Amino acid sequence: MSDWEEDWDNGDSKATSKPYNKRNNAKDNSISNRSDESGRHRSSENRAPIRYPQAGEKRSNGQRHKHSEKIEVPSDLVGMLIGRGGANIQRIQNDYNVRVDLDKESGTATINGNTEQNVKDAYNDIEHHLNNGPGSRYNSKDGSSGHQSNAIYNFQLKGRNNKPGDTDDIEMDPSGVIDWEALNKKAKKERAARWSKLPELRKDFYNEDPEVANLTPREVARLREENNNITVSRVFQQENVSENIPNPVWKFEQCFSAYPDLLEEIYKQDFRKPSPIQSQAWPILLKGEDMIGIAQTGTGKTLAFLLPAMIHTEYQLTPRSQRKGPNVLVLAPTRELALQIEKEVNKYSFRGMKAVCVYGGGNRREQISVVKGGVEIIICTPGRLNDLIEAEVIDVTSITYLILDEADRMLDMGFEPQIRKVLLDIRPDRQTVMTSATWPPGVRRLAQSYMSNPIQVCVGSLDLAATHTVKQVIEIMDDGDKFYKIREFVRNMGKDDKAIVFCGKKTRADDLSSDLTLEGYMCACIHGSREQSDREQAIADITSGHIKLLIATDVASRGLDIEDITHVINFDFPRNIEEYVHRVGRTGRAGRSGTSISFITREDWGVAKELISILEEADQEVPIDLRNMAERFKSMKDRRANESSKFNDRDGNSGSRGYRGGGGAGGRGRRDRY
């Protein structure tokens, strides 16, 4: 569950009234309710003991186990034993067919299993983990202590990249103060030694077509402007240094004529020409430059980084058969996006290159077996990647082309530590691509730390363009009327209609889907707490037309690319205007027309102004009630600002009692709730 979905679930939301709620939504303690979209573990302090269900098993099954063993777990190592989103404990349960109950209060883990051997093996695994995991100071059964010193423990707690044993000879003074300078010097030396052993890397595969090379600066500017107003710059380069950014292309052949088999694959897709991001990204990436693409899903960004990745992989100096592991790593925030990328990769067969999608919630054993079988491209969510790196299934030192897809989203979801951890293990001279819908400070810092003089390419969203092919209808109503409205809509759906209904909260989505089902309308529902297999089935069912109605939350629907959606219904209005644009872009795809219908309530007034701008820009009808809402909101803001300045004048400080800042035009941040 994402942070914001959780906020809404905690009742910090406008959408709290559920007039048609017929079910008890009391939360159970199952692992899905403690995990987010990507299986992120949620704090479970004060819950003891924790019972971790096995894969496919619901919670308590009343089963009695014949063998049992207890192991002591120091409280500060409980999290490490559980692993991200319960990944480690689940792995132990799956691998040894045991059940592990953790009692955080007494600091014990009880292992139950049907054979003595299984329990013993699980015991040894846990003991090994506690002894050897990061920060371990655990004393095992035989009295020997974990091999890491306190110095290393502290070092790792500070989030530095370090391997056990790296700092064995670092002196600590008697008061326990670490000599950071010596430590950093040593780490730098060791890193240099580590990378020096790797094979030489080739990154430049670009032969600029004379037609492209001969463009005048004025023609280049015009091309960029016509291509959805692309802007390019070296974001971190000092002024007055030549930027040296390759010219954009406008034909596939200008980039890929040297690779006729790849060109054939592109022709099979029947695309007319490179999308704006592709027209600029391909020359940059084929030249071996690092790139930041400020672009959303639907802009063709996947293909923009994928085709250069394939060429990069194929034409390294070391033959593919002699390489030690995958070359391309794509990190994506959600399982849906990771699967979507895999689908896109699999459309292009190039020299037998294989890709695998690795994500929390998928079949771990199957994913491991594919990875071990040899793949060139790994697409994964950060949590599962770390899990597999720790289990030594994936070795990222062979990665030479790295993509951080939807970086802003990954940071929003709290993946920054995992990303930074992985990045430190990838050779620093790699080629790095980052995509992001926005450019907040967190993303900027990440790019500054881990990219080499990157070129930033900003592209106006094609989704935004899509809003021009979509009829946008606004319906203002009370929350209590929404269900009757949606029922009326479903009743009147034509035989070729397909709709996605967006809800703000998972419980809303669950309630709506069950109530529509009870009324006899077939639908499927996807959100962060649904089993991965159910989510995939729901997407397959709406894609095939088996069902016509998909109820979804934003997070679960990210990356959805279903061509023939005719309607998008905003049952709950999204928390920000970007999400609105993104949702609307789920229809009107691939040259088709579409309709979006948004149910707006009084509580949505904070977004009315931005919504009006979008509607006006796309030449859509703006209801007078929406304009009134925007006016009322503005008056309220002015009044509060006035009160606040009076308050400041009086107290001589800038206290901001009560009112929490305005929504901010175009901001991605959380919408104010009143």
Residues that bind ligand AMP (CB under 6 A): 271, 274-275, 278, 297-303, 344, 561
Name which of 167 and 299 has its Cβ closer to ligand AMP.
299
The kind and range of the H/E element at 456 are strand 455-458
CB of 292 to ligand AMP, least distance (A): 16
Name which of 297 and 553 has its Cβ closer to ligand AMP.
297
Distance CA 495, CA 75 (A): 58
CB of 254 to ligand AMP, least distance (A): 13
CA distances to 184, 311, 348 from 259, in Å:
45, 8, 13
Name which of 300 and 333 has its Cβ closer to ligand AMP.
300
Name which of 82 and 568 has its Cβ closer to ligand AMP.
568
CB of 272 to ligand AMP, least distance (A): 6
For tokens 């900027």, name the residue: 444
CB of 265 to ligand AMP, least distance (A): 12
CB of 245 to ligand AMP, least distance (A): 21
Instruction: List Cβ<8 Å contacts ≥24 apart for 607-610.
Output: 607/573, 607/576, 607/577, 607/580, 607/663, 607/671, 608/633, 609/633, 609/634, 609/663, 609/665, 610/577, 610/663, 610/665, 610/666
Please write down the HEC assignment for all residues of 154-165.
HHHHCCCCCCCC
Name which of 112 and 438 has its Cβ closer to ligand AMP.
438
Name which of 307 and 526 has its Cβ closer to ligand AMP.
307
For tokens 């070391």, name the residue: 318
β partners of residue 181: none
Distance CA 663, CA 648 (A): 21
CB of 589 to ligand AMP, least distance (A): 8
β partners of residue 98: 113
Degrees, nearest 5: CA angle 199-205-207: 155
CB of 76 to ligand AMP, least distance (A): 42
CB of 62 to ligand AMP, least distance (A): 46
CB of 483 to ligand AMP, least distance (A): 33
The token duo for 471 is: 């009829």
Name which of 271 and 484 has its Cβ closer to ligand AMP.
271
The kind and range of the H/E element at 212 are helix 210-213
Distance CA 508, CA 15 (A): 8
Name which of 141 and 273 has its Cβ closer to ligand AMP.
273
Distance CA 316, CA 329 (A): 16
Query: What's the one-letter identity of residue 314?
Result: E
Name which of 2 and 299 has its Cβ closer to ligand AMP.
299
CB of 281 to ligand AMP, least distance (A): 11
Distance CA 560, CA 569 (A): 15
Name which of 113 and 274 has its Cβ closer to ligand AMP.
274
Query: Are the beta carbons of 324 and 398 closer than 8 angstroms?
Result: yes
List, as one string, the DSSP characters of 602-656. GGGGGGHHHHHHHHHHTT----HHHHHHHHHHHHHHHHHHHHHHHHHHHHTS---
CB of 602 to ligand AMP, least distance (A): 35
CB of 307 to ligand AMP, least distance (A): 10
Going by the DSSP 8-state scheme, the letter that residue 658 receives in this structure is S
The three-state secondary structure class of 302 is helix
Name which of 301 and 498 has its Cβ closer to ligand AMP.
301
Name which of 83 and 276 has its Cβ closer to ligand AMP.
276
CB of 604 to ligand AMP, least distance (A): 28
Question: The dihedral of CA 158, 164, 168, 174: what is its sign?
Answer: positive
Buried residues in 127-141 as b, exposed as e (16+ CB within 10 A): bebbbebbbbbbebe
Q: What is the dihedral of CA 76, 79, 83, 84, to 10 degrees?
A: -130
Name which of 545 and 661 has its Cβ closer to ligand AMP.
545
CB of 501 to ligand AMP, least distance (A): 22
CB atoms within 10 A of CB 369: 12
Name which of 295 and 419 has its Cβ closer to ligand AMP.
295
Is it true that the peptide bond before 49 is cis, omega within 30 degrees of 0?
yes
